[in-house]
């Protein structure tokens, strides 16, 4: 609901300055097209793609840092913090990493040596500029009995590729907070797997400091109760929590419509209600939640356009196509106040 008592110029990050950083994922385009919005309302940025393996390290002997460097320079120029995303992932990692010069699979020693070299190079380059790294992204399996998803990392290096990644990152920057990051994090079955993984890492004294809850949510799922239980379960491990990729799709999972030209009134009202509940919950747990990052900034650009349904636009943020506040923005400010 629009509140007459709220000044439209209230900066999101100022509203939560006592609780957590407010971040947005950016890319080289949005750093230009959304600059004013980003610098006004956010005090942290994350590279949507530019710090992923394939972006930084396309060939064994070649690193491409230009776009990532530009993002760091942007953050410095505007006094913003930077979250690093991501060092080890089964996606967006080039094949050369797993292959020898004949195209066959490398052995475990070679893969771990390459991983170490990549992590050392990247983490050392941005040492002191990045407050937290997503060290391992999405290693846990969504369904079935197995804990870890099948991947080349797991096949070749075995399950301790995860511990190794954290050790290498910690050695390269002992000050950076190191996170395990995943989606479907509030679904009870996967929550328990993520919990078990992080618990086992802690028991082995692996330097892990937090769990990233991606928070790709929608108008109905997950329930507030499931989100609360996930936060409590993860926090019970004594780690910090970051909300790392927040967005609220206006479509339910089984809604495949492609004819909508704008979000409906009902969608905007429900989205605002959801965002308000989320931020009330984040505030309640602000002892352990220290950063909340949206996976974008405004509805003119989102990774959810055409995904997972081709030809469909989505409107998952709290600022609209024209970078103006949506009902969700006002309701989040309400949550900040009470
Ligand atoms: C996230 N995966 C990734 O962490 C992020 O790097 C990417 O830009 C977008 C979303 C979520 C995900 C996915 O990519 C595919 C299926 C389910 C979930």
Q: In angstroms, what CA-CA distances link 28 with 25, 35, 67, 78, 244?
A: 11, 11, 7, 16, 19
The answer to whether the CB of 153 falls within 8 A of the CB of 108 is no
Q: What is the pLDDT of residue 8?
A: 57
Atom of ligand 1 nearest to the CA of 184: 18
Please give the angle made by the CA atoms of 8, 78 and 337, to the nearest 5 degrees: 35
The answer to whether the CB of 332 falls within 8 A of the CB of 5 is no
Query: pLDDT class for 9, splitting at 50, 70, 90?
Result: confident
Atom of ligand 1 nearest to the CA of 86: 6
**DSSP collapsed to 3 states, 80-109:** CEEEEEEEECCCCCCHHHHECCCCCECCHH
Tens of pLDDT, residue by residue over 291-331, are: 999 999 999 999 999 999 999 999 999 999 999 999 999 99
Substitution site in 87, 89, 214, 293 for ligand 1 pocket (most atoms within 8 Å of beta carbon): 214
Q: What is the pLDDT of residue 3?
A: 45
Substitution site in 216, 244, 293 for ligand 1 pocket (most atoms within 8 Å of beta carbon): 216
Q: Is the peptide bond before 215 cis (omega within 30 degrees of 0)?
A: no
Q: Is the CB of 137 under 6 A from ligand 1?
A: yes
Helix axes 265-284, 224-235, angle to 10 degrees: 30
Q: In angstroms, what CA-CA distances link 43 with 16, 17, 79, 117, 292?
A: 10, 9, 7, 31, 10
Q: Is the CB of 89 under 6 A from ligand 1?
A: no
Q: Is the CB of 134 under 6 A from ligand 1?
A: no
Q: DSSP for 126-175?
A: TTTTEEEEEEEES-B-SSSS-SBPP-HHHHHH-TTHHHHHHHHHHHH-TT
Please name the helix (run of DSSP H) or strand (run of DSSP E) that holds residue 249, with its range, or none: strand 240-249
Among all residues, which ones are annotated catalytic? 138, 245
**Cα–Cα distance measured from residue 97 to residue 17, given in angstroms and rounded to the nearest whole number:** 41
Residue minimizing CA distance to atom 9 of ligand 1: 303
Q: Is the CB of 299 under 6 A from ligand 1?
A: no
Q: Whose structure tokens read 């990233």? A: 212
Q: Is the CB of 183 under 6 A from ligand 1?
A: yes
Tens of pLDDT, residue by residue over 135-188, are: 999 999 998 999 999 999 999 999 999 999 999 999 999 999 999 999 999 999
The answer to whether the CB of 331 falls within 8 A of the CB of 276 is yes
């Amino acid at each position: 609901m629009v509140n007459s008592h709220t000044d439209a110029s209230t900066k999101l990050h100022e509203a939560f300055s006592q609780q957590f950083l407010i971040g947005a994922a950016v890319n080289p385009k949005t750093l230009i097209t959304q600059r004013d919005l980003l610098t006004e309302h956010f005090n942290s940025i994350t590279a949507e793609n530019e710090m992923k393996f394939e972006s930084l390290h396309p060939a064994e002997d070649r690193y491409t840092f230009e776009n990532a460097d530009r993002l760091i320079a942007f953050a410095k120029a505007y006094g913003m913090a930077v979250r690093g995303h991501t060092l080890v992932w089964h996606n967006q990692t080039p094949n050369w990493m797993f292959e020898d010069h004949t195209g066959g699979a490398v052995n475990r020693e070679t893969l771990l040596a390459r991983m170490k070299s990549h992590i050392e190079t990247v983490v050392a380059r941005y040492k002191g500029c990045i407050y937290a790294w997503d060290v391992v992204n999405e290693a846990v399996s969504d369904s079935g009995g197995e804990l870890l998803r099948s991947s080349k990392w797991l096949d070749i290096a075995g399950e301790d590729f995860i511990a190794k990644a954290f050790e290498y990152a910690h050695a390269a920057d002992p000050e950076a907070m190191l996170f395990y990051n995943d989606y479907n994090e509030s679904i009870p079955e996967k929550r328990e797997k993520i919990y078990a993984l992080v618990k086992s890492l802690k028991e082995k004294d692996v330097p892990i400091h937090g769990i990233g809850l991606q928070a790709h949510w929608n108008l109905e799922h997950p329930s507030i109760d499931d989100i609360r239980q996930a936060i409590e379960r993860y926090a019970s491990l004594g780690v910090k929590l970051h909300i790392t990729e927040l967005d609220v799709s206006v479509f339910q999972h089984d809604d495949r419509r492609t004819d909508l030209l704008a979000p409906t009134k009902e969608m905007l009202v429900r989205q605002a209600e959801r965002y308000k509940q989320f931020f009330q919950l984040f505030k309640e747990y602000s002892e352990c939640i220290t950063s909340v990052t949206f996976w974008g900034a405004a509805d003119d650009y989102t990774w959810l356009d055409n995904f997972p349904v081709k030809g469909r636009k989505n409107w998952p943020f709290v600022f609209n196509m024209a970078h103006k506040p949506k009902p969700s923005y006002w309701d989040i400010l309400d949550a900040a106040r009470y």
